[in-house]
Amino acid sequence: AQKITQTQPGMFVQEKEAVTLDCTYDTSDPSYGLFWYKQPSSGEMIFLIYQGSYDQQNATEGRYSLNFQKARKSANLVISASQLGDSAMYFCAMREGLDNQGGKLIFGQGTELSVKP
């Protein structure tokens, strides 16, 4: 069964507007971490934001915020004030367990975001 689901293959947003990228997950482990990465055409994976399953508040990192709804098992990424440089692939990922060893990530299918001038 798919553990991480991104239902939006592609999204368009006007420059300076906000955009929400959807991500739902499935796990029976009470301890997990959720990540969002940006992958430009160069291929590098750029870390954007992290939310731990026990974190009480939604994570924020500059223009990025994570709308964490634990009961719905969703972890949507909100990008405010979109910039042309935000055009890229965006991946949601989950790591089950919060131990200090291991740490494999399971990725969603990705969403290709295009920012229009």
Partner 1 sequence: GAVVSQHPSWVICKSGTSVKIECRSLDFQATTMFWYRQFPKQSLMLMATSNEGSKATYEQGVEKDKFLINHASLTLSTLTVTSAHPEDSSFYICSARDPRGSAREQYFGPGTRLTVT
95 vs 82: CA distance, rounded Å: 28
Residue 86: how many other CB atoms lie within 10 Å? 19
Cβ–Cβ < 8 Å for 68, 52 = no
Nearer to partner 1, 47 or 84 (CB): 47
Within 13 Å of residue 113, how many CA atoms lie on the same side as its CB?
Answer: 28
CA-to-CA separations, 66 to 11, 43, 49, in angstroms, rounded: 17, 23, 7
Please, what is the minimum distance in Å from the beta carbon of residue 67 to partner 1?
Answer: 17
Sort strands 111-116 and 10-14 into parallel, antiparallel or unpaired.
Answer: parallel
Residue 101 sits in the site that holds partner 1 (CB under 8 A): yes
Query: Does residue 64 bind partner 1 (CB under 8 A)?
Result: no
Q: Which stretch binds partner 1 (CB under 8 A): 22-30, 65-73, 80-88, 91-99?
A: 91-99
Does 110 interact with partner 1 (rule: CB under 8 A)?
A: yes
Binding mask 16-55 for partner 1 (x = CB under 8 A): -----------------x-x-x----xxxx-x--x-x---
Q: Residues in the site for partner 1, rule: CB under 8 A?
A: 33, 35, 37, 42-45, 47, 50, 52, 91, 95, 98, 100-110, 112
